[in-house]
Structure 1
Amino acid sequence: MEARTIGRLLVVGMLSLLYGAPLGAQSQAGVGLFRAGDDALVSHNIMVPMRDGTLLSTDIYVPAGGGQYPAILIRDPYGNGSSAEAWEEGLRWAKRGYAYVHQNVRGRFDSEGSWYPYINEANDGHDTQNWVSEQPWSDGQVGTYGKSYLATTQWKGAEFRSPSLKAMSPRMTPFNYYFDTAYPGGALALGSRIGWASGMGGRTGQAGNPNWDQVLMHLPLLTMGAATSQDNPWWRDFVNHPVYDAYWQVLDSEARLPDFDVPSYNMGGWYDVFLAGTLVSYTGMVNKGRSEHARNNQKLLIGPWSHAGSTSVFEYAGIDFGPQADVDY
């Protein structure tokens, strides 16, 4: 198979799964957008209201030709516009005939409110899907996309079944946060979780204590977050709940499989730390999804990738998988 063929097939398959119809319809493209070259109208830092009045910072890219379009929604705790890649991604989708909506989740970067992992993503995801579907450049159809935490925001956002949500494409998915991420095998994943807590402690990812020998030797675990200089209440909650209990059930997507009624294209890597979560999300939906339509429209792609992604690096465990392992999306 030629290089990038898998990727092209993935893009075609995902987009047909998302919308199943030719792109675009005709209408006005929207207000407050500025032209970015010949292909897109763009507006950054649009403040989208949630049900409690909190405003979430959202970047929007719309095809420049006018009309109403299906939308790709990404909800992100890591920043929606801090790199050239974010700009290029928005233009890439606009060129293909999609509105691209990239939002900072609650309490991160320019979004208002306080951030606590996962706890607000169901309500905020649902509210954002509805908002997108009501915009003049939208044809009412929303699909979601992203990996890792950005995969979980998709599943959480699907809990309340917005009629505008037509499909999802979650990648490298932590589906059950307790078993997949925090306590795999029943033991706290100390290295990964304290590292993540350090990087996610501030609103914009401020650097923490760089002396990891000192941090990892700190006791008790309950105050290890403070030793990184990022004293997060949710780190203390993680440590205070070493068994799967009601605390973790609130964060768990696997327990809500019967609530999900949306087709999804699931993607994972054989070398990804969240492979189990990706597989369970797929098999769980096939067997327990809310409707026959949802159960019959699940797709799965697993390839030679790590959690870092599915492009550029194709050698793992001494095996070179070659350029055909690239995914061009």
Structure 2
Amino acid sequence: MTPQTHDTMAGSGWTAPSGKPPLSSRMLRATWRGLPAKRYEAGWEPGLAVPAADGSPLLTDHYFPRAAGDFPTLLVRSPYGRGLPWSPLYGMLFAEQGFHVVLQSCRGTGGSGGRFDPWRQEAADGRATVAWLRQQPWFTGTLGTVGPSYLGYVQWALALDPPPELKAMVIQAGLHDPHAFFHAGGAFHLENALAVGAGMTYQHQGTVPLVRAMLRLKRRLREITTALPLRKAYVPALGDVPWLDGAMTHPDADDPHWHGTSVAAAAEQPGVPTALIAGWHDALADQTFAQYHRLRRAGCATTLLVGPWTHTSAMQQGWPEVFAENLGWLRAHLCGDPAGLRPTPVRVHVGGEGAWQDLDDWPLAPATTAWFPAAHGALTRQPPADSAPLASVRYDPADPTPSVGGPLLSPGAGPRDNGALEAREDVLTFTGPPLTEPVDVLGPVAARLRISTDTGYADVFARLCDVDAENRSTNVCDGLLRLPAAGPGPSEITVPMSSTAYRFAAGHRIRLQLSGGAHPRYARNPGTGEPPADAAALVPARITLHAGSVLSLPTGARE
């Protein structure tokens, strides 16, 4: 902790300490470009102990503008520590723009007291922190919240019963439903779960412990993800993480394990103006779209910004756009200055052409265009004349179809060349003819498939790809669905493939890619009907696609 003296008045009845933000934060701050000029020098008051709901001390750093006057407050609660990158991203940058920033470590992390139990304590601890704020002489009664990922979850938790001081939120790639993060589609999202396990367990301890944990995880990833049984296989890399074991072994959303963890109801009331930010290759994009739809139905003031980002690149390459969005929204709702607001509620980056598009809503219209898988790997606008089987693959969980790119939390996320993946015998592709004019896809993508299996136990992974003039296939969006147990005949399923804003250029081809998994992004289906976390045997499955299947693309006209 930096020794404090007091020399600057900033807020009624309060004498500000003279400490500067940490040197590491100031050095990182100096490297950033493309950000608004700062209005004030930032001050720092570290290591404040805020009582949690049960009295446990929540360690908190206070950043503030070094200037006389009253300023609104931003609350940032994090399980990932209060150092890099949070200190410069939120503490320094927003203090420089005229906000008090309260950066707090969730209980059991970053030196705070109590035990960290994800999802279950944030609403009460958030309310306790607001009660503490009311006692601070610099607090004006105007409060906003901001932050990504789990830092978004804690905002929704506070908004379940919002305090009257809460006037605005900025949710950056944040979640509201933990079960959906781990199990959407019916398969355990293994690789992302392991990344979260490493981050939540080690990041609050500092950069060195986190880097060591990530390196251990990288070295042992294959060993962990192919272990039989899968449960507890992560322990040699991450140590025992009880909440991760709980998430892995409770796949049913109705299981009491998940009761009270979803904070979706916070977006179903018109109370707190909320800005939402996501990336097309973000692991939490679907939850962001669900939040937007709930807020719009509730009549709540909201905006949506979606860029060409992964979960982490929005805070890196995308930070100039993201910070400008944050600042405009917060100034409008906390400072009464609407100059930084966009003219339309939605702004999306259109992949394939690299342009930003302002829209009145998302998605624009429910209109869809149907593409039909056909014989010999064709994808056509006309349905096949019969219902015969089109193609089949043998999925072997002992040699699972690998994952390539997509919405991961790891460095391999995003669009990638799918050539090597599509050359495998356990991957099907159906490709359309070269386009005579551009095709814009804006909205949710889905594949309605007629599928049969020889065992009754299988997953189907469906991916939309753009094939360019050099025959390079690049992933656009995708999804996986665990098939319900069924008999030998074909059954119809719909695989949600997330959403996109993408232009397929003239001369390019649209491709539907199908397989029985994407490992280790998703835990492999053992093929036995056993819970994947506890399965001790593996059985291959033959998956057959039948005619009558449809790829649905939302191709309504752009504004």
- TM-score normalised by the shorter chain: which range applies? 0.7 to 0.9
Query: What is aligned with 2:304?
Result: 300
Read off the aligned partner of 1:235 and give its amino acid letter: L
Query: What is aligned with 2:136?
Result: 135
Query: What is aligned with 1:48?
Result: 50
| 1:312 counterpart = 2:317 | yes
Read off the aligned partner of 1:28 and give its amino acid letter: G
Q: Secondary structure at the match of 1:247?
A: helix
Equivalent positions of 1:106-117 (< 5 A) are: 106-117=107-118
The structure where helix makes up a greater share of residues is 1
| 1:213 counterpart = 2:222 | yes
Structure 2 CA distance for aligned equivalents of residues 194 and 187 of structure 1? 14
The answer to whether the 8 A contact 1:254-1:281 is kept is yes
Q: Secondary structure at the match of 1:250?
A: coil
- Gap change, CA 1:317 and 1:163, over 3 Å in 2: closer
Structure 1 CA distance for aligned equivalents of residues 121 and 15 of structure 2? 28
- Gap change, CA 1:131 and 1:186, over 3 Å in 2: same
The answer to whether the 8 A contact 2:80-2:199 is kept is no
> Which of residues 225, 237, 243 is equivalent to 1:228?
237
Read off the aligned partner of 2:301 and give its amino acid letter: N
Read off the aligned partner of 2:68 and give its amino acid letter: G
| 1:267 counterpart = 2:271 | no
Q: Deviations over 1:260-314 (max 9, x none)?
A: 73111111122212111001111112224xxxxxx23122222222211334269
The structure where strand makes up a greater share of residues is 2
Q: Deviations over 1:24-53 (max 9, x none)?
A: x95134465636697233111111111211
Query: What is aligned with 1:238?
Result: 247
Percent sequence identity is 29
Equivalent positions of 1:79-98 (< 5 A) are: 79-83=81-85, 86-87=87-88, 89-98=90-99
The answer to whether the 8 A contact 1:161-1:260 is kept is no
> Aligned-pair distance for 1:57?
1.0
Query: What is aligned with 1:276?
Result: 286
Structure 1 CA distance for aligned equivalents of residues 19 and 186 of structure 2? 51
Query: What is aligned with 2:457?
Result: none
Structure 1 CA distance for aligned equivalents of residues 142 and 82 of structure 2? 21
The answer to whether the 8 A contact 1:221-1:239 is kept is no
Query: What is aligned with 2:522?
Result: none
> Which of residues 56, 59, 76 is equivalent to 1:57?
59
Read off the aligned partner of 1:148 and give its amino acid letter: S
- Gap change, CA 1:97 and 1:28, over 3 Å in 2: farther
The answer to whether the 8 A contact 2:295-2:301 is kept is no
Query: What is aligned with 2:187?
Result: 187
Q: Deviations over 1:81-128 (max 9, x none)?
A: 245x62464232222221011111111111111112121111111211
- Gap change, CA 1:154 and 1:260, over 3 Å in 2: farther
The answer to whether the 8 A contact 2:11-2:138 is kept is no
- Gap change, CA 1:320 and 1:128, over 3 Å in 2: farther
Read off the aligned partner of 1:268 and give its amino acid letter: A
Structure 2 CA distance for aligned equivalents of residues 175 and 250 of structure 1? 11
Q: Which has the higher contact order (CA 8 A, sep 6+)?
A: 1
| 1:321 counterpart = 2:354 | yes
Structure 1 CA distance for aligned equivalents of residues 195 and 305 of structure 2? 29
Structure 1 stretch displaced more, 138-147 or 237-246: 237-246
The answer to whether the 8 A contact 2:308-2:351 is kept is no
- Alignment coverage as a number of residue pairs: 291
Q: Secondary structure at the match of 1:278?
A: helix
Q: Secondary structure at the match of 1:140?
A: coil
TM-score (norm 1): 0.79
Equivalent positions of 1:9-28 (< 5 A) are: 27-28=12-13
- Gap change, CA 1:27 and 1:183, over 3 Å in 2: same
Query: What is aligned with 1:17?
Result: none
Query: What is aligned with 2:102?
Result: 101
Structure 1 stretch displaced more, 29-38 or 235-244: 29-38
Read off the aligned partner of 1:196 and give its amino acid letter: V
Structure 2 CA distance for aligned equivalents of residues 109 and 320 of structure 1? 43
Structure 1 residue ranges without an equivalent (≥5): 1-24, 289-294
The answer to whether the 8 A contact 2:268-2:297 is kept is no
Query: What is aligned with 2:149?
Result: 148
Structure 1 stretch displaced more, 252-261 or 112-121: 252-261
User: For the aligned residues, what is the CA RMSD?
Assistant: 2.8
| 1:286 counterpart = 2:288 | no
Structure 2 CA distance for aligned equivalents of residues 101 and 266 of structure 1? 21
Structure 1 CA distance for aligned equivalents of residues 90 and 121 of structure 2? 26
Q: Secondary structure at the match of 1:222?
A: coil
Read off the aligned partner of 2:317 and give its amino acid letter: S
Read off the aligned partner of 1:304 and give its amino acid letter: P
Read off the aligned partner of 1:27 and give its amino acid letter: S
- Gap change, CA 1:253 and 1:88, over 3 Å in 2: closer
Q: Secondary structure at the match of 2:142?
A: strand
Structure 1 stretch displaced more, 64-73 or 48-57: 64-73
TM-score (norm 2): 0.48
The answer to whether the 8 A contact 2:268-2:294 is kept is no
